């Protein structure tokens, strides 16, 4: 046997030392699926919405595909915010809900959590936010303790919008802070500085009318153990009900991904990101917060993180809006992303 032809299997094994992986990338748990033929889509959909659901928890996801700005790290940006476009979109979204709401599928079991994602749901006007929430509560069988989450950001999420959400029935706010550090926020093209973000979160907490959580990212350009620790301390001291600690995923077609690829900026190494994650876990544990998942911690009993927990458990999900994805009775789908089609 010629030893020169021996296979090198080392790439398939963990590395030596305390860092077994050379890099980190997100992997989605895709299941085997057979596409429905285009000519059968309408019939299949009608058959599906006339079926009762299996005895599992149910969710609703609504997608709001507008953002005032494009944050450098974000791969979910679709459409730039435009007031008229948002109003027209709200009209269409409400029509979509009303068209489907009376079906056997939509009425056959209670809905335990509703999530407004995006994009930036808080970019909608106060009137439009209230209209959508009210339509959901009037048309769909929401459970008495249904969690209704509005995802938002500091920019333009004013008192009028917040009050409109609360008065219409929202009971949870998830704010994409990512970092309270002004320099890091500027690098991410966040429009508000750290003190403004802190003041916004404090004012939201003081209302005491809904669960308030925020997202923090670790692995950002310019971030180290000290700046990360400062973010964690601020989140703890504000009085939040919960916090998400997410690892930054550098997506190739985002402004940040292109900057990393071209060598114009760098991000912490996999080993450094591991240490930041462990730092966050230890910090939350020492603060007495309960670990709800590998990336989410709750401080109060008000915080349930119900939508995210149930979606990971395979709960059925009804989806509304451009770019929204759902899954029911073994079928999965994603609504058209292009608003012009």
Q: List pLDDT tens digits, range 254-286.
A: 999 999 999 999 999 999 999 999 999 999 999
Please give the structure tokens belonging to residue 209: 């009318």
Write out the DSSP string of 192-226.
S-HHHHHHHHHHHHHH-SSEEEEEEEES-TT--HH
Residue 102 structural domain: 56-333
Nearest to 179 by CA among 257, 244, 269, 267: 244
Q: How confident is the model at residue 1 (pLDDT cuts 50, 70, 90)?
A: very low
Q: Distance (Å, rounded) from C-alpha 145 to C-alpha 302?
A: 11
* pLDDT of residue 183 exceeding 70: yes
In a domain, 80, yes or no: yes
Report pLDDT digits (tens) over 84-109: 999 999 999 999 999 999 999 999 99
Give the contacts of 163 (CB within 8 A, at least 6 positions apart). Answer: 126
In a domain, 209, yes or no: yes
Report pLDDT digits (tens) over 22-61: 666 655 555 567 899 999 999 999 999 998 877 789 999 9
In a domain, 20, yes or no: no
CA angle, 10 then 16 then 17, to 5°: 165
State the pTM of this model. 0.91
* pLDDT of residue 16 exceeding 90: no
Count structural domains, the chain: 1
> What's 22's DSSP letter?
S
* pLDDT of residue 19 exceeding 80: no
What is the signed CA dihedral for 64, 69, 73, 77, rounded to 10 degrees?
30
In a domain, 24, yes or no: no
* pLDDT of residue 225 exceeding 90: yes
In a domain, 1, yes or no: no
In a domain, 26, yes or no: no
In a domain, 116, yes or no: yes
Which pLDDT score is estimated for 265? 94
In a domain, 114, yes or no: yes
How large is the average pLDDT for residues 155-173? 98
Instruction: Look up the CATH number of the domain holding residue 127.
Output: 3.20.20.70
Q: Distance (Å, rounded) from C-alpha 61 to C-alpha 58?
A: 10
Mean of the per-residue pLDDT values of the chain: 92
């Amino acid at each position: 046997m010629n030893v020169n032809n021996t296979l090198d299997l080392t790439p398939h094994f963990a590395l030596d030392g305390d860092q077994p992986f050379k890099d980190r990338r997100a992997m989605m748990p895709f299941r085997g699926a057979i596409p429905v033929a285009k000519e059968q889509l309408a019939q299949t959909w009608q058959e599906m919405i006339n079926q009762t659901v299996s005895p599992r928890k149910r969710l609703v996801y609504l997608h709001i595909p507008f953002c005032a700005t494009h944050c450098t790290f974000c791969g979910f940006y679709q459409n730039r915010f435009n007031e008229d476009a948002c109003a027209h979109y709200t009209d269409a979204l409400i029509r979509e809900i009303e068209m489907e709401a009376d079906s056997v599928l939509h009425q056959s079991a209670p809905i335990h959590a509703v999530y407004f994602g995006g994009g930036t749901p808080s970019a909608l006007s106060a009137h439009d936010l209230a209209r959508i929430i009210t339509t959901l509560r009037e048309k769909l069988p929401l459970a008495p303790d249904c969690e209704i989450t509005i995802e938002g950001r500091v920019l333009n999420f004013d008192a009028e919008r917040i009050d409109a959400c609360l008065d219409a029935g929202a009971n949870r706010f998830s704010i994409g802070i990512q970092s309270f550090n002004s320099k890091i926020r500027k690098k991410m093209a966040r429009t508000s500085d750290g003190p403004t973000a802190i003041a916004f979160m404090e004012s939201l907490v003081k209302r005491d009318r809904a669960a308030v959580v925020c997202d923090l990212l670790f692995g950002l350009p310019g971030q180290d153990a000290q700046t990360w620790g400062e973010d964690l301390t601020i989140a703890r001291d504000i009085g939040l009900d919960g916090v998400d600690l997410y690892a930054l995923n550098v997506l190739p077609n985002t402004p940040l991904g292109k900057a990393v690829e071209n060598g114009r900026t760098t991000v912490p190494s996999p080993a450094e990101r591991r240490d930041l994650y462990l730092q966050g876990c230890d910090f939350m544990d020492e603060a007495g917060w309960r670990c709800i998942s590998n990336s989410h911690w709750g401080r109060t009993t008000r915080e349930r993180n119900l939508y995210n927990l149930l979606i990971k458990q395979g709960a059925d999900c009804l989806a509304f809006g451009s770019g929204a994805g759902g899954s029911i009775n073994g079928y999965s789908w994603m609504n058209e992303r292009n608003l012009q089609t």
